[in-house]
Amino acid sequence: MVLASLLFAFLAGALHVFIFTMESLTWTRPATWKRFGLASQSDAETTRRMAYNQGFYNLFLAIGAFIGIGLVALGGPGSAQDVAGWTLIFSCCGSMLLAAAVLALTGRKYLRAALTQGTTPLVAVVLGLLATLQ
């Protein structure tokens, strides 16, 4: 259960690094801004700074999840490292999950993106809770 939770936390983090790359590094490329539903290059330029900032939020959540995974993997059950690791995993993946819920509530056209963004952190949190409560 622990290993599966860590795997899903890793996948959630990796997806958020990919989102960071799109939002902060390739936002003004047509393939990226079209994926986010923008209508024109002008719209991409107008929203570039906002996307750049948002991309870093995604990166920081991913980094927190990765650090949490490392701490859990290196610490023994119940150790300070283990507790700190699970705290990071639950807070970072929980934030990813809540952000996906907000995205889903934004409108029907965002449901697919919300499911993509929210599934792996949801599984990581559920499996992590099952593993830590045993």
Cβ–Cβ under 8 Å, residues 41 and 28: yes
E-assigned strand segments in the chain:
none
Residues in the chain: 134
> Which amino acid makes up residue 120?
T
Q: What is residue 39's predicted lDDT score, i.e. its pLDDT?
A: 96
- Give 10-residue mean pLDDT values along the chain (134 residues): 97 98 98 95 97 97 98 95 98 98 95 96 98 90
Q: What is residue 134's predicted lDDT score, i.e. its pLDDT?
A: 82
Domain boundaries, the chain: 2-132
Distances from the Cα of 45 to the Cα of 26, 37, 51, 97, 110, angstroms = 11, 14, 10, 28, 22
Helices and strands in the chain: count of H runs, count of E runs: 5, 0
pTM of the model: 0.94
